[in-house]
Amino acid sequence: MFNYKLPSLLAITFSSIILLSNLPSLAQTASVPKPSDAPLNLELLNNPKDGVITANTIKLTGLTTPSLWLAKEISENKLLDNWIAYPATQAEFSRVDLIVNQQIWSLLDYLERYEFVNRLGSTARKDNYNMRVFNYQGDLLATYTCNFQSSLPACNIQMNIQYKLGSTR
């Protein structure tokens, strides 16, 4: 016996799929820019210039952004070695490049690394900085990138799969 409800149900299901597929997704409405592809410049750690700030930079007139000093002193002292913060340019938003201790990084599992990137990326985001994570060899380990042009910044975390399981090759 033929069930007359089945074709109606299928028509409603297909109509719903078509309607939902035409709605803009969050990714389409607030696209996140790609992370900066500028190389890590470790020389700036000892000789910051052009508005660059490192973990050793101290402003005498007020707080220095991004405010990563507390994170470094409280919980990241062994993992987070230093950082280089770049002011915004016409081409890209402000960014901070974190330099981590590779030995400690390699001891962390994927979720611990993700949590580190998310926690410090959230701190950097509060000061309108995108973030990249490197080791001293200049290997890009992770990024935390946001679109600051929307009222609620849309952000994206990318983890380098090569270092996902502690591999250093």
Looking at residue 153, the DSSP 8-state letter turns out to be -
Q: Looking at the domain assignment, is residue 144 inside a domain?
A: yes
Domain containing 41 equals: 32-163
Provide Rg for the chain, Cα atoms.
22
Cis peptide leading into residue 33 (ω within 30°): no
Q: Looking at the domain assignment, is residue 15 inside a domain?
A: no
The per-residue pLDDT of the chain, averaged, comes to: 76
Q: Looking at the domain assignment, is residue 100 inside a domain?
A: yes
Q: Looking at the domain assignment, is residue 146 inside a domain?
A: yes
Q: Looking at the domain assignment, is residue 26 inside a domain?
A: no
Q: Looking at the domain assignment, is residue 27 inside a domain?
A: no
Q: Is 114 left (phi over 0), alpha (psi -120 to 50) or beta?
A: alpha
Q: Looking at the domain assignment, is residue 159 inside a domain?
A: yes
Give the count of domains, the chain: 1
- Which helix (H) or strand (E) covers residue 27, if one does? helix 26-29
pLDDT in tens, 42-98: 898 888 888 888 877 765 454 455 567 666 666 556 888 888 999 888 888 899 999
Mean pLDDT value across residues 116-136: 92
Residue 129 phi, psi (nearest 5): -115, 135
Q: Looking at the domain assignment, is residue 86 inside a domain?
A: yes
| Whether the predicted pLDDT of 22 surpasses 90 | no
Pick from 21-35, 37-51, 133-147: least confident: 21-35
Q: Whole-angstrom Cα distance, residue 159 to residue 120?
A: 14
